[in-house]
Chains A and B, each alone.
Chain A
Amino acid sequence: MKKLAITLVVNDTEHELLVAPNRTLAQVLREDLGLTGTKQGCQVGDCGSCTVLLDDEPVNSCLVLAAQVTGRRVRTIEGVADGNRLHPIQEAMVEHGAIQCGFCSPGMILSAKSLLEKNPDPSNGDIRQALSGNLCRCTGYQKIVEAVADAAQKMGRA
């Protein structure tokens, strides 16, 4: 399969890549760029583990072809903290015990980040709606919802 030259801006760094047209964004992030924080739980868009932000919008990166998004901005979990300083959502997830096996956490955090950027003061229902595409089998979601609500409050105060 003939490879295509694409440009991806991942976590503020521009990458020039040669990718086969059938490769997904999730595969390219994980395999070509070594950004394995993006998880793959189903590869068909059901579980949300591979959620990344594409121009600030959450997408299942397993359903996006890398070649389709040339030139666009991608934010992965590796680009959420500021060096060693956790983002308030990460901090709250850690503090509230909202992380167990951790496999859904990167996608969950990115969905929450997108929500709080658009809606800094979300209701419990808003939070649940925003996270409804991210499956978690460990937590029952309660501590995740509490963490996002707490992060929203702290970010509002900052």
Chain B
Amino acid sequence: MGGKYDVIGGRARRVDAVDKATGKAIYAEDLRFVGELHGALLQSPLPHARVLNIDTSRALKLPGVKAVITHKDVPATRYGVSPARYDETVFAIDRVRYVGDEVAAVAAVDLETALEAIELIKVDYEPLPHVLTVDEALAPGAPQLHDEYPGNLCAEVHQEFGDLAAGFAQCDLIHEHKFVNKRQDGGFIEPQHSIAVYDHTGQLTLYSSTQVPHYVQRTLSMVTGVPIGKVRVVKPYVGGGFGPKAEANPLDLCASFLAMRTGKPVRMGYTRAQVFLHSRARHQFFHTMKTGFKKDGTIVALAHQCHLEGGAYSSFGIATVYYAGSLLGGPYRMKHMSYDGYRVYTNKPACGAQRGHGCVAARACFEQQLDIVAKQLDLDPIEMRLKNIMENGDVTCNHMSMSSLGMKECIQAVQTGSDWQEKRGKLPPGRGIGMASGFFVSGAGYPIYRSDTFHCTVTIKVQEDGGTVLVKTGAAEIGQGSDTTMAMIAAEAIGIPLEAVRLVSGDTDYGVDLGAYSSRTTLMTGHATKEAGLAVKETVLTALAQELGIERQRLDLKKGLVQISGEPVDFSALRTKYIKEHRGWTDHPDGEQLTFTEAARVAFLKHGTIVGTGKYKPPVLGGLHKGAAVGTSPAYGCSAQVAEVSVDLETGQIKVERITDAHDCGQAINLTSVEAQMEGSVSMGLGETMFEEVKFDKDGRVLNPSLGEYHIPTVLDMPEMKCIVVETGEPNGPFGAKEVGEGAIMPTIPAILNAVHDAIGVAIDELPLTPERVLKALAQAKQG
């Protein structure tokens, strides 16, 4: 660390931290526009109903109301996340499909008036029978949500790699395991908020709390009909996303339509309860895995089935159902694998992507099964994993290439870091230790819409005085630290200190960037930033070489100073010229080396504004099978974790005492941010394991739509965490870097489950681990 690079690899202060610590950071709700109106949504109170009539006349008459819109006032354009399954419209046209489905929107002079107007809209509904569970939705004769997708099947996947029958024929032990998690909420602290501004030239600007300005821009253009060149999406600071903010939401669309209709800026925000209704968070997954082993613990074959309870619309669901199968191809060598996945529509809020998209429950099921089988085969679960582990250069049976994979190093790091050997099998009753592994993509190999587009473009402009550079990127800083990461990569690439880099981001005007999802930013936007930085450096040094009359190859930049190899060069004329140009300034360069500032000034005087650009798209990746696009990535990050728990055998209360966590991120750009992602991942995984569950009543209403009733981890729930960063150097990553944002959550649930199994002797196959569920498992175990 530190030796190889000047800027990256260390612990930088985040470029946004001071603004955030002092209350100066501006989030969407903090913006103010002169003459702005307040919008509100009318959402369905019923889980499934025909819409017979909407009467907005009383709402329109309320003083202060400026517009009321329903499906009659907007195009019927269908939109969504995957073009293959555009199944949403801005407002319900003839049918509502969940409690929360959008029916109308109002803009008024203030929020109180807008909410009062909502109450005055009269909707005649004819209730329809509804389905809330996978079983209900798949039952013969079940009520149907979408005519186009019969049987309530949103998507199904059938894949086989290798030869499953032949694989199972070689096995000594075949184990079948079922596992189910619960529907989760994103739990980001900032509710979504959007403000739309439509000007007299027909330009639509949307300020939104989003992870994906680019996709929001495309959806807005498609649905509103405003040409994409006149749609600008700006992402101010965002108070967390974790996946649910990775698509255009009803606030984005309704605020835009209301702004276009009224000619005034319109703001709309969700209450916390509405955040739960919008959802787009983790699905409920029902996994069944039949896995075949040899008696030495070699994993041979996996037959896997999964049903996803998806809610009323697709959102990211098509990708989710593929992810739930595809990432079991690693990190263990396994030649034969089949997967049958079904995403099922229900009359509930739509589920979508959430940290560890689609893979978290699958990983938990598989890793729990490994522990059960290790016990049956009398093997140490770590040794059994190491026996099967993939290494650099391995390719999974479903064609994912592990160009770097420090999985073994991670497992060994947590084995040592947790004192596994001293603890496993030696703890008193009620105490347990367990481990698990996992891995994740460093960016989806393909955009959500089929396209040859670059996944990101970056521009770096050298300021005319040469003192600083300005990085412009559409990348979405949502708390993960991408602004700091890109600033550091730019500084490293050019050869200047971090302090000489300014950065603006999160605006579609700054270039294409697919956004913050699939753990893509460090690798992909990092590549583009590095390329732009190198272009700047090349232009500046080429101009300087010409000025000095020497070969370009003799020049380099390091820490903001020009390095000249070979014979000394007299640059005094150049420096004198610079100083004369800056008469009266007090910061004249006076060192023995030329500075970047002087060199950049030379380049400016020769060429005008100096700009470097960079771009990135992954090479063609993966297999040719249907669904090969999901799960392929230029690189994979991986994690191992050891959890230690104590279980109160009287009350069933579990306490997670300690987590030891190792993650291979290729090369840490900012070590502090890598640890921060690891720790945050553990906390989200712990919440899902221990208490998180969105609950519904029989009429499809969320029973716990608040952060009081839906329990996310508090500081008192979190154990001590020990983070170990493993760096294997990823050949496909900028400076060797790859993901940490989502791979780090993979092992958390199964590590805790396996620790509980160790503590009480029973493997609990349903989340969350409530005391009631633990006591039930203990009672069942007693009965044998």
Q: How far is the CA of A102 from the CA of B237 in the complex (A)?
A: 9
The answer on a CB contact under 8 Å between B189 and A47 is: yes
From B23, B26, B684, A76 is in contact (CB under 8 Å) with B23
Q: A86-B18, A93-B21, A105-B21 are in contact. Are A132 and B242 (CB under 8 A)?
A: no
The reply to whether the CB of A153 lies closer than 8 angstroms to some CB of chain B is no
Interface residue ranges of B415-464 to A (CB < 8 Å): none
Chain B window 711-738, contacts with chain A (Cβ cutoff 8 Å), 1 for yes, 0 for no = 0111110101100000000000000000
The answer on a CB contact under 8 Å between B715 and A131 is: yes
The answer on a CB contact under 8 Å between B240 and A101 is: yes
The answer on a CB contact under 8 Å between B272 and A43 is: yes
Instruction: Choose among A36, A90, A140 the residue with the greatest number of B CB atoms under 10 Å from its CB.
Output: A140
Report how many residues on chain A are interfacial, defined by Cβ distance under 8 Å.
54
The reply to whether the CB of A37 lies closer than 8 angstroms to some CB of chain B is yes
The answer on a CB contact under 8 Å between B189 and A141 is: no
Chain B window 22-42, contacts with chain A (Cβ cutoff 8 Å), 1 for yes, 0 for no = 111111011010000000000
The answer on a CB contact under 8 Å between A139 and B679 is: yes
Interface residue ranges of A66-84 to B (CB < 8 Å): 76-78, 80-81
The answer on a CB contact under 8 Å between B707 and A46 is: yes
Q: A36-B30, A41-B190, A128-B716 are in contact. Are A100 and B676 (CB under 8 A)?
A: yes
Residues of A within 8 A of B13 (CB): 94-95
Residues of A within 8 A of B673 (CB): 97
Q: How far is the CA of A105 from the CA of B716 in the complex (A)?
A: 17
The answer on a CB contact under 8 Å between A101 and B237 is: yes
Name the residue on B nearest A109 (C-beta): B21
The reply to whether the CB of A44 lies closer than 8 angstroms to some CB of chain B is yes
From B237, B676, B714, B715, A97 is in contact (CB under 8 Å) with B676
The answer on a CB contact under 8 Å between B683 and A37 is: no
The reply to whether the CB of A33 lies closer than 8 angstroms to some CB of chain B is no
Name the residue on A nearest B681 (C-beta): A140
CB distance from B682 to the nearest CB of A (A): 5
The reply to whether the CB of A49 lies closer than 8 angstroms to some CB of chain B is yes
Stretch at the interface among B215-223, B328-336, B391-399, B476-484: B476-484
Interface residue ranges of A97-126 to B (CB < 8 Å): 97, 99-106, 109
The reply to whether the CB of A145 lies closer than 8 angstroms to some CB of chain B is yes
Name the residue on B nearest A144 (C-beta): B715
The reply to whether the CB of B125 lies closer than 8 angstroms to some CB of chain A is no
The answer on a CB contact under 8 Å between A140 and B707 is: no
Q: A103-B189, A142-B718 are in contact. Are A46 and B23 (CB under 8 A)?
A: no
The reply to whether the CB of A137 lies closer than 8 angstroms to some CB of chain B is yes
Residues of A within 8 A of B681 (CB): 140
Q: A41-B191, A90-B21, A101-B479 are in contact. Are A137 and B240 (CB under 8 A)?
A: yes
The reply to whether the CB of B239 lies closer than 8 angstroms to some CB of chain A is yes
CB distance from A134 to the nearest CB of B (A): 8
Interface residue ranges of B360-419 to A (CB < 8 Å): none
Residues of A within 8 A of B191 (CB): 41-42
The interface size bin for chain B is: 35 or more
CB distance from A10 to the nearest CB of B (A): 13
From A38, A93, A97, B675 is in contact (CB under 8 Å) with A97
Q: A86-B18, A105-B20 are in contact. Are A132 and B716 (CB under 8 A)?
A: yes
The reply to whether the CB of A13 lies closer than 8 angstroms to some CB of chain B is no
CB distance from A23 to the nearest CB of B (A): 11
Chain B window 228-264, contacts with chain A (Cβ cutoff 8 Å), 1 for yes, 0 for no = 0000000001111010000000000000000000000
Name the residue on A nearest B479 (C-beta): A101
Instruction: Choose among A38, A93, A99, A134 the residue with the greatest number of B CB atoms under 10 Å from its CB.
Output: A99
Residues of A within 8 A of B240 (CB): 100-101, 103, 137-138
Name the residue on A nearest B20 (C-beta): A102
The answer on a CB contact under 8 Å between B17 and A99 is: yes
Q: How far is the CA of A134 from the CA of B188 in the complex (A)?
A: 13
Q: A78-B23, A94-B21 are in contact. Are A128 and B271 (CB under 8 A)?
A: no
Q: How far is the CA of A118 from the CA of B238 in the complex (A)?
A: 33
The answer on a CB contact under 8 Å between B712 and A129 is: no
The answer on a CB contact under 8 Å between B716 and A103 is: no
The reply to whether the CB of A24 lies closer than 8 angstroms to some CB of chain B is no
The reply to whether the CB of A61 lies closer than 8 angstroms to some CB of chain B is no
The reply to whether the CB of A135 lies closer than 8 angstroms to some CB of chain B is yes
The reply to whether the CB of B568 lies closer than 8 angstroms to some CB of chain A is no
Instruction: Choose among B11, B21, B672, B676 the residue with the greatest number of A CB atoms under 10 Å from its CB.
Output: B21
Q: How far is the CA of A129 from the CA of B717 in the complex (A)?
A: 11
Q: How far is the CA of A131 from the CA of B480 in the complex (A)?
A: 22
The answer on a CB contact under 8 Å between A102 and B679 is: no
The answer on a CB contact under 8 Å between B189 and A136 is: yes
Residues of B within 8 A of A94 (CB): 13-14, 17-18, 21
The answer on a CB contact under 8 Å between B21 and A38 is: no
CB distance from A146 to the nearest CB of B (A): 10
The reply to whether the CB of B16 lies closer than 8 angstroms to some CB of chain A is yes
The reply to whether the CB of B203 lies closer than 8 angstroms to some CB of chain A is no
Interface residue ranges of B649-676 to A (CB < 8 Å): 672-673, 675-676
The answer on a CB contact under 8 Å between A49 and B715 is: no
Name the residue on B nearest A106 (C-beta): B23
Residues of B within 8 A of A46 (CB): 272, 706-708
Chain B window 511-528, contacts with chain A (Cβ cutoff 8 Å), 1 for yes, 0 for no = 000000000000000000
Q: A39-B189, A40-B29 are in contact. Are A86 and B481 (CB under 8 A)?
A: no
Name the residue on A nearest B671 (C-beta): A97
CB distance from B269 to the nearest CB of A (A): 9
The reply to whether the CB of B680 lies closer than 8 angstroms to some CB of chain A is yes
Q: How far is the CA of A132 from the CA of B713 in the complex (A)?
A: 10
Q: How far is the CA of A81 from the CA of B480 in the complex (A)?
A: 25
From A80, A131, A140, B682 is in contact (CB under 8 Å) with A140
The answer on a CB contact under 8 Å between A135 and B26 is: no
CB distance from A52 to the nearest CB of B (A): 11
Q: How far is the CA of A40 from the CA of B240 in the complex (A)?
A: 14
From A40, A135, A141, A144, B707 is in contact (CB under 8 Å) with A135
The reply to whether the CB of A9 lies closer than 8 angstroms to some CB of chain B is no
The reply to whether the CB of B612 lies closer than 8 angstroms to some CB of chain A is no
Name the residue on B nearest A107 (C-beta): B189
Residues of B within 8 A of A101 (CB): 188-190, 237-240, 478-479
CB distance from B99 to the nearest CB of A (A): 20
Q: How far is the CA of A41 from the CA of B673 in the complex (A)?
A: 24
Q: How far is the CA of A150 from the CA of B673 in the complex (A)?
A: 19
From B481, B679, B707, A42 is in contact (CB under 8 Å) with B707
Q: A36-B26, A137-B240 are in contact. Are A99 and B21 (CB under 8 A)?
A: yes
The answer on a CB contact under 8 Å between B189 and A78 is: no
The reply to whether the CB of A54 lies closer than 8 angstroms to some CB of chain B is no
The answer on a CB contact under 8 Å between A135 and B189 is: yes
Query: 5 closest A-B pairs (Cβ-Cβ)?
Result: A37-B23, A101-B479, A102-B20, A103-B239, A140-B683
Measured CB to CB, the residues of A under 8 A from B are 30, 34-47, 49, 76-78, 80-81, 86, 90, 93-97, 99-106, 109, 128-129, 131-145
**A-B contacts besides A100-B480, A104-B189, 18 pairs, CB < 8 Å:** A36-B26, A36-B29, A41-B189, A46-B706, A80-B22, A97-B17, A100-B676, A102-B25, A102-B237, A106-B23, A128-B716, A129-B716, A136-B189, A137-B187, A139-B679, A140-B682, A142-B720, A143-B676
What are 27 A-B contacts with C-beta separation under 8 Å? A34-B32, A36-B30, A37-B22, A39-B27, A41-B190, A42-B191, A42-B708, A44-B272, A47-B189, A49-B189, A81-B22, A97-B676, A100-B680, A102-B17, A102-B237, A102-B479, A103-B240, A104-B189, A128-B716, A131-B715, A135-B712, A136-B189, A137-B684, A140-B683, A140-B718, A141-B715, A143-B675
Measured CB to CB, the residues of B under 8 A from A are 11, 13-14, 16-27, 29-30, 32, 186-191, 237-240, 242, 271-272, 478-481, 672-673, 675-676, 679-684, 706-708, 712-716, 718, 720-721
